[in-house]
Copies of this chain bind each other. A is one copy, B any other.
Amino acid sequence: MRSSAAGGAIVTLPPRCAACNVRDDALCATLEDAGLVALHGIGRRRTMPAGQVLVWSGDPNAICATVVSGVLKAMRAGPEGREHIVGLAFAGDFVETIRVMTDAELCVYPRAALQNMLDAHPAMERLLLRRALGALDDARMWMLMLGRKAAGARTATFLLEMARRMGQPDPVRFDLPMSRSEVGALLGMTIETVSRQMTSLKRRGVVALPGGRGVIILDRALLARAAAG
């Protein structure tokens, strides 16, 4: 489309790229010909057999790749080694409804103005990317939990996570920022099941539940073990 259109192009498009079927979908789509040549120079095309592991969890020398054909899977190891697929990659929106849960203060920026800021500050955009990847990581951890863990383990995991994020001064005592109904919506369970699991943890002496929202972790080790279940 845009290769040596006006006739006088100096660069020669690598043949592999010129014929590539994901040329306009992949990262390469953002590059002009010269950039594409540069990118081609640092990369190699490899064919891999089914079943091969491309990246190991925690590998610091992780590689990045564009899928030209075939299907790849992203996995997570569950509690006892059982693997769970958390995403698929093939060759080739960001729309939610946000509602304030507790009273909150916000710094609000118009989208267009923020875009200008991003243009002027590449580091900002990079952080935004890191954040998005972090959120993706969270989402996949959640998927793993929803797909594999039972109600008790979900509840325990939830309490630990809330203790980590809500228990700022005191990591043992905190108030949940939401109702049982909202906890249910988050964990994919009914209000009744949430309540039963909470009561069960209370009866076993793992936590105390003062008032409607309060949580006191009495035995963190037990709670962690319940979360692994």
Q: Which residues of B contact A31 (CB under 8 A)?
A: 121, 123-124
If A105-B46, A128-B27 touch, whether A185 touches B85 (CB-CB below 8 Å) is yes
A128 touches B127 (CB 8 A): no
Q: Which residues of B contact A85 (CB under 8 A)?
A: 182, 185-186
Stretch at the interface among A142-150, A192-200, A202-210, A215-223: A142-150
Q: Which residues of B contact A120 (CB under 8 A)?
A: 35, 38
Q: How many chain A residues have a CB neighbour from B under 8 Å?
A: 108
Contact with B along A92-135 (1 / 0, CB 8 A): 01111111111111111111011011011111111111011111
Chain A contact surface mostly: mixed
Tell whether A74 is near chain B: CB-to-CB under 8 Å.
yes
Q: How far is the CB of A3 from chain B (nearest CB, A)?
A: 18
**CB contact list, A28-55 vs B, under 8 A:** 29-31, 35, 38-39, 42-55
Residue of A97, A133, A182, A187 with most chain B CB atoms under a 10 A cut-off = A97
Q: Which residues of B contact A165 (CB under 8 A)?
A: 88, 90
Complex Cα spacing A27 to B140, Å: 23
Please name the residue on chain B nearest to A106 by beta carbon.
B65
Complex Cα spacing A39 to B65, Å: 35
Please name the residue on chain B nearest to A133 by beta carbon.
B94
Could you say how many copies of this chain the assembly holds?
2
Tell whether A178 is near chain B: CB-to-CB under 8 Å.
yes
B127 touches A70 (CB 8 A): no
Complex Cα spacing A68 to B100, Å: 12
A71 touches B102 (CB 8 A): yes
Q: How far is the CB of A9 from chain B (nearest CB, A)?
A: 19
Residue of A51, A68, A105, A146 with most chain B CB atoms under a 10 A cut-off = A105
B52 touches A88 (CB 8 A): no
Residue of A56, A122, A188 with most chain B CB atoms under a 10 A cut-off = A188
B94 touches A136 (CB 8 A): yes
If A107-B66, A109-B42 touch, whether A72 touches B100 (CB-CB below 8 Å) is yes
Residue of A27, A86, A106, A135 with most chain B CB atoms under a 10 A cut-off = A106
